[in-house]
Amino acid sequence: MHFKNLTFNDLPTVVGELCKRIESLETVLKNSLAVQNKVKENHHVPMTVDEVCTYLGISKSSFYYKVKHGGIPVIKQGKHLFVYRDELDKWLETGRKVQVPLTFEEEQTQMLAATRRKANPKNV
């Protein structure tokens, strides 16, 4: 909207166009503010052992084993253990393994390495 020489007769059309542009700016601002002000679900919530077990679908004994050996991020408050949900989700993501299919030779070497053999007696 670039009018260099505006006359009094052009005033109603220019004002109408300005009103339309102001309305479009208001709708854009309302939409952007609505997106910014959406309430986000809080994932940094402490969970008890029972809640974690139901969330992961494992037993309590498996949970305690994974805490001791697997490194589940826990917080100990007295006798109680708590796990934050977002930290648990990060731990699950880091434990993800991508398996690449092995060749026949690689499978064979893994199987041979896994079998135990008797030690050869030394001939003295």
Q: pLDDT digits over 27-43, tens only?
A: 999 888 887 766 666 77
Classify residue 86: in a domain, yes or no: yes
Structural domain includes residue 69: yes
pLDDT digits (tens, 9 = 90+) for 104-115: 788 888 777 777
Indicate whether 52 belongs to any domain: yes
CA distances from 115 to 106, 108, 112, 118, 119 (A): 15, 11, 5, 10, 12
Domain carrying residue 85: 46-94
pTM of the shown model: 0.45
Tally of structural domains, the chain: 1
Residue 35 located in a structural domain = no
Assigned domain for 78 exists: yes
Classify residue 31: in a domain, yes or no.
Answer: no
